[in-house]
Structure 1
Amino acid sequence: MNDISASAMTGEKDEPAATETKMTAEPRPERRRKVRRKSNGVHRHSCRHYTRTIYILAASLAVLFLSLLIVLIRLSMYAKEVHDLTVLQHKQEQELETLRPKVASLEAEIAELVKGRLPGLKPLEFDKVIPIDKQYVRNIIFTLIGTEEDRSYEYKLTLKNNNLTAVHPIVRVIFFDHLGIQMGHSTIGVDEDNVPTLDVLERGEVRSYTKVVSLPDGRQPRYFKIEVDLPEYQKPKE
């Protein structure tokens, strides 16, 4: 009785255990399939994301390559232009070197002709004391003032009276171009109406006069000439 009861009891206990084992074992394939499906879905999503990234990188590299190609083409064109300009500049410099002696020779010939036609002309040089020593005029200094668009010429004239009496000198500075054509003039000792001023130079006195001259059309003088005169009342009577 005890054995049967024990066996029965044992049988009753074994059946639920087997049933429980069976119930726990049955869902495993289903869970595996679900896990496999989920894993496959994640893998496919990862592959799509990776493929999209590759396409984006490939497109970016293609754009970068095209940009570099365009830059290289432009640099090549620029290098060719620079080379052509360098060759042209070198050619022009050679031509200038060939023409420079001829130009200098022609300028010297023109200068000689101008001086021969107009005695007393002096080359106009800036920022330099040019000795004159003509009657009452000792020297003159020219200075270029103004801007490129509006040039003017300032001169400083130094006079000295070596006479025994006071004088009233009238000094005219005349400007000429490179061909000896008169461009303008400036006068000291008379006003705009050609009336003598009261600037009398005493005996032994040294005095400086400064004036600014604007020449027409912005032309630059190459020569100048100084003429000295006296008022009628100081001129010696014949």
Structure 2
Amino acid sequence: MKKNIITITIISALLLTASCRASNENIEKATSVRDSLTQQKELAEDTNGKLTGTSYEDELSELQTQYNLYTGTDFNKLNDKEIQEIIPDMDELSASYTALLDEMNKELSSEDAATLEASKNIEIVCYIANNSGLELSSIILRDNSLGTDSPSFLAEGQTLPSGRILAGVTFPVNTDSASRSIIVTDTQGNEHEYPITIDDPTAVSENGISITLSAPENGAEVGSY
């Protein structure tokens, strides 16, 4: 009789232990949710590392504190009720990482677009030979595609007589632009436009170019530096 009581006690203890342990299904679900949360966390941290102008370190630190609550959790030691309570919390944290990641990706796209646009703006060293027969008081580069003018390459009060060269000029050039002109003003106040063609701005930016201004009706010639 005593033996039977011991056996029943052992079986009851085993049944009680089994009933306290979460089901395999819930353990697997919790593990999967935590794995997904970890992936979102790592992706957000990786994206933050790619940003140059903005940092989300403070936001990530706050989320990390919450994430740490789940990293050491042994789901095998929880019961079904405890796991069913913890899964929505992990889902909510994962959603927070996703929302932050969306914000980061927008910022990253903006930075990439700005970097790409900046890469289109290059400088070309140039010298300008004035063979126009005019004394010039202003020389600017006009980007007809963008509708922008550079400052005059002649300092205030400086002129460039005919037969002289202006060396060391730096042209600001946007590689996307297809139409450019040199706009000159002579000392009589007359303005003249010289359309110029730079076939491959990126290629010539290394060695520079020369521009020879003839009489306005004869245009300008672009050559090597």
TM-score with structure 1 setting the length: 0.28
Q: Which structure ranks higher in relative contact order (CA pairs < 8 Å, sequence separation ≥ 6)?
A: 2
TM-score when normalising by structure 2: 0.29
